[in-house]
Amino acid sequence: MKFIKTKLRDVILIKPAIFKDNRGCFQESYHIDKFRDNGISIPFIQDNLVFSKQNVLRGLHYQCKNPQGKLVRVLQGEILDVAVDIRKKSPTYGNWISEKLNDENQYQLYIPDGFAHGYLVLSKTALVYYKCTNIYFPEYDSGIIWNDKSIGIKWGIENPILSEKDRNLNIL
C-alpha cells in the first residue's frame, strides 16, 4: 500500500498493492498498523454502501457537529471524488482536490473531518463503499452547493442529477 499526501493537509490517497493471477486478484484494503503509520489512526465505526447512476452528483456534505472522516473506495464503476477544506483556520481553507476512483485502480481517498465531501458518477453506474469515523447524525447534516463559485470545482458537467437536498445547499 502506498499512502500519498495531497495538496490538502491530512487528505491522503491510498494506492493498494494488487496481486493478480489466473484466479483473479487479491488486495489488502485496510490494515490498522499501516494506516496508523501513515497518519490515519482514528477508528472507523460506520460503513456505508451507495449505488448511483451516471451523472449523479452527491454532495458536498459534512456534519457541523460530530464530524465524520471518510475512507472512500469504488467497488464497481468510476467516480470523481472531491474533498473541500472547510477548516476556517487552515491555510488551505476553501481549497479542493479531486481524484478519480474506480474499480480498476482500486484507489481509496481518506478525507478527515473538517472537509466537505462529494462525488460525481462518471460510469454508467457506480457502487461506492466508504468507512466513517463517526456515526451519521441527520440533525447535524450540512453541506455546500456543488457549483459554489468561490470554490470553483471542475466537475466537468453542467447539469448533474441532484437530490432535492443537494439542490438546496448553501455556499461556503
> pLDDT by residue for the chain (172 residues), tens digit each?
999 999 999 999 999 999 999 999 999 999 999 999 999 999 999 999 999 999 999 999 999 999 999 999 999 999 999 999 999 999 999 999 999 999 999 999 999 999 999 999 999 999 999 999 999 999 999 999 999 999 999 999 999 999 999 999 988 7
- Residue 49 is assigned to a structural domain of this protein: yes
Q: Which of 61, 107, 110, 119 is catalytic?
A: 61
Give the CATH number for residue 61: 2.60.120.10
Q: Is 61 a catalytic residue?
A: yes
> Which structural domain range is residue 59 located in?
44-167
- Residue 36 is assigned to a structural domain of this protein: no
SS3 assignment for 1-37? CEEEECCCCCCEEEECCEEEECCEEEECCCCHHHHHH
Q: Is 130 a catalytic residue?
A: yes
Based on the structure, what is the number of domains in the chain? 1
Q: Are 162 and 57 in contact, with CB atoms under 8 Å apart? A: yes
Strand-strand pairing, 2-5 and 96-102: unpaired
Write down the pLDDT at residue 170.
87
Q: Which of 31, 130, 136, 140 is catalytic?
A: 130
pTM above 0.85, yes or no: yes
Write down the pLDDT at residue 83.
98
Grid coordinates of 118 = 462529494
- Residue 90 is assigned to a structural domain of this protein: yes
